[in-house]
Structure 1
Amino acid sequence: MIHFFEYNWQVRDEWFSWCYQLSREELLKKRTGGMSSILQTFFHIIDVEYSWIRAIQGKQDIVLSFEEHDTLEKLQALSSAHRPEIADFLSHLNFSNKRYVTVPWDSTSYTEADILHHIIIHEIHHIGQLSIWAREVNKQPISSHYVGRNIKDIPSYFSKNN
């Protein structure tokens, strides 16, 4: 499962780099689907990942504000800032379908494994939306292929924490 987090981070970083070819207006333009804009969608991806990970850790949710992270540079910094903590936690987690977690924003309890799968799939879903938006502005989207990325062979946040 760790490799899928690494995959998501690698693809996210490629999308961040891709975004530099767009104006701030394009990055904030209201679009159909997603969280209404490219930057707001990135913020949502990062916020959801961190909130759910903190929930599994039994930590209080930190409510983030888009207004404080409303540029590409700030979102990249936010994304990078959380990764070492997430990688360290996941590197030492015994993935469990037996331990249930309840979060403040939902009354249902979920297993750790279900939450981790949700985080991974959630980002992939939004990356698909970014791909559609890229085509709408006549740009080539970032490849979402897992095959050929050699995720297991590249230095990662997880190898730094082991």
Structure 2
Amino acid sequence: MDTLFRMNWQLRDSWFVWCENVPQIELSAAREGGHGTILQTLFHIVDMEQSWMRSFAGRAEHHFHYEDYADLDAIMALSDRCRPFIEDVIKAWGPEKDQEAFSLFGADGRQIETTCGTAIRYVASHEIYHLGQLSMWARQLGYEPVEMSLLLTDPFGLRRPSKAKGRSRQR
């Protein structure tokens, strides 16, 4: 499970780099599907991942508010801030956790009974689903999307470079 989440994070970080080369107006423009905008979709990925992991760790559900993280730098910082906790949850995961009963409420309000193992795999695939949405939007805007096949040859080489001081994004 650890490897799958790390691969997701590498792709997410690559999308953050991709966003640094796209005008802010495009990142914030309303789009069909996903969660409305590129930035809202990236925020949703981060927020849902941390919320699910809190549930797996037996903590109260918590959601951040997009209004507090409505630009790329803030979403990147939130992702970085949440990641150590998520890593701890994944490291502590064992075979017995996979079989543990897990109950949640669906978007329609009905209660869903499953296992933690099924739910954590859902969380991992949730990010992949939304990254596919970002790829569609990238193509619609005339940009090349993040190349996912790089994970096949260098799964952990897609690191997000440190931002150079004084470097500004295209606006």
Structure 2 CA distance for partners of 1:101 and 1:142, relative to 1, 3 Å: same
Question: Is 1:78 aligned to residue 78 of structure 2?
Answer: yes
Structure 2 counterpart of 1:139, from 126, 138, 143 = 143
Structure 1 counterpart of 2:129, from 122, 125, 129 = 125
Tell me the distance in 2 between the aligned counterparts of 1:76 and 1:59: 23
Count of aligned residue pairs for this structure pair: 154
Structure 2 CA distance for partners of 1:150 and 1:41, relative to 1, 3 Å: closer
Q: Per-residue deviation at 1:109?
A: 2.5
Q: Per-residue deviation at 1:154?
A: 9.6
Question: Is 1:43 aligned to residue 43 of structure 2?
Answer: yes
Tell me the distance in 2 between the aligned counterparts of 1:119 and 1:43: 15
Tell me the distance in 2 between the aligned counterparts of 1:130 and 1:154: 17
Counterpart residue number, 1:2? 2
Q: Per-residue deviation at 1:50?
A: 0.7
- Structure 1 runs of 4+ off > 4 angstroms? none
SS at match of 2:16: helix
SS at match of 1:110: strand
Contact 1:55 1:61 (C-alpha < 8 Å) held by counterparts: yes
Counterpart residue number, 2:154? 149
Q: Per-residue deviation at 1:102?
A: 2.3
Counterpart residue number, 1:23? 23
Letter in 2 for 1:19: C
Question: Is 1:59 aligned to residue 59 of structure 2?
Answer: yes
Gapped runs of 5+ residues in structure 2? Answer: 160-171
SS at match of 2:102: strand
Counterpart residue number, 1:97? 98
Higher relative contact order (CA 8 A, sep 6+): 2
1:107-128 Cα deviation digits (max 9, x unpaired): 2222111111111111001101
Tell me the distance in 2 between the aligned counterparts of 1:139 and 1:154: 18
Tell me the distance in 2 between the aligned counterparts of 1:90 and 1:97: 11
- Identical counterparts, % of pairs: 33
Contact 1:30 1:37 (C-alpha < 8 Å) held by counterparts: yes
Gapped runs of 5+ residues in structure 1? Answer: 156-162
Letter in 1 for 2:36: S
TM-score w.r.t. the length of structure 1 is 0.88
Contact 1:11 1:144 (C-alpha < 8 Å) held by counterparts: yes
